[in-house]
Chains A and B, each alone.
Chain A
């Protein structure tokens, strides 16, 4: 006991000293530290992404190492990663960012935190999916309305999002979001609101459009934190809700449900995950090589096989999961003016959070 006491005392004394030392000398030591760490990470590329979950980050790091890239993945939610890239623009820590969709990247680009680069595989992708200058498309993701196909027959299913709140049989049977922080939620609303564009309306949207939003929130069953939509479908709590295309196959299996998706006549919003070079990177050449490697047909194909994604790279599409490719082939993409959406999304989110979410 006595020994422990002495130990604790010593530890406190030591840290007191350390604290004093730290407080009195930081200018010199931190100055050196910053120099040392910037150079110290050597040729390790720092990669920011929101697409590292469910083993993607580990898989990518291992594959990159095989290809001779030393990368360090910093995972963060889409909004967090965006805020971080913008906040750090004067002294960037990241070299490459990927996984964020065009909305996020256009925001970062506006703040001047991206460096223009033309990847080697630029010719294999549809330029229109990115900005053709700084960020380039990797993976397509459809934001869908899915329903429990064991319970609802195809012809009884909703035909479009608007059916959810206009037809009584779907009221309270669909899950609605409880926060506008997620990219998926924002894309759903981009898809709905774009249809009601009206330059004289509030925030560029007609009153009718805002009424749809109001109805959406009024008639939906609020999402439950830490309970997956598929879990709620499995338990019969709800029958339908928003879902990104890439997760469907996997979740159907884990929760033992069958889900079919709605194909509105206007099409579905596509989120396209992009990759970009960070402005001010000290390892520009290495970072460019990494972008060239990661976006290449082979790597994208492998990634697509492993994670059921829909690659944008035409060379990779051939090797991707055929089911996925077929699905996207039969998909009508909704025509969305992303410039308009990006310009207004912040205000829309704010309005929805403040006025419509109950």
Chain B
């Protein structure tokens, strides 16, 4: 559906994206994830046609659109702040693209009302000024405005970033529902890993203009391809060489002690896992415990590594701060990265750049 090939984007002397290849499949909800300034928005804007790359091609449906202006690419975009036109009513905002296309007024009105119904905007709201709408309603206007032109691709630039936590959660779901309902290929930009994991079919993790990993949410979570991805996604504890050496000693797993090693918080436990035949137990001391209702967060120290882990508050007895305990680890869950390049040393990585 969308292919970015060999893209390079520069602003003056600054190279925002040195080299980018991406492929987005039809109907997919594809997320560009990364910290601010990582180049994800630049990539999106290149795709949208607001930025012309210094090198490389952008293809939509196999057609080279690299030099085409934004409106000829059949992409709809929802901006970070929605970019609604403040001097127009909701109806006028949605109808803007249609009127530019010189659709018949009657057709425009039908299309606007149709899309408005599908994004659950009432007729009354259509007559309102955009300033009178809530954040969630504004978002739906922005989506409707983009979708009413029936684009092939919908681009979303951090559309949830200005909203409060509750609304975010609610709208996240709405957006996802809308997307599945319309079945439209969607490229979504966010710095929020939660959003990315929950909404996406696939995620591309950006760092300093480079894609570190592309994969399904589970892929990038469980098999972070690089140390950056490992740190950026989810929560993990850094392990010391001594700790890794001890794991080796106990399990003969043969892990390298020269690498950077991490363990996801949910992969360590204080109880021997029921099914985990390969798990090994290491003696540890409880450094701290924070109660969260559903669970407690523990920090335990073992062989110089501060290991964070979660313990379900299921009514059982749990060790207090200062107590000696045992931390159980499956050697296969330890993520290892090359200290120089940060590339994963694991065997079963899905480094998928199709």
Direct contact between A and B in the complex (CB less than 8 angstroms)? no
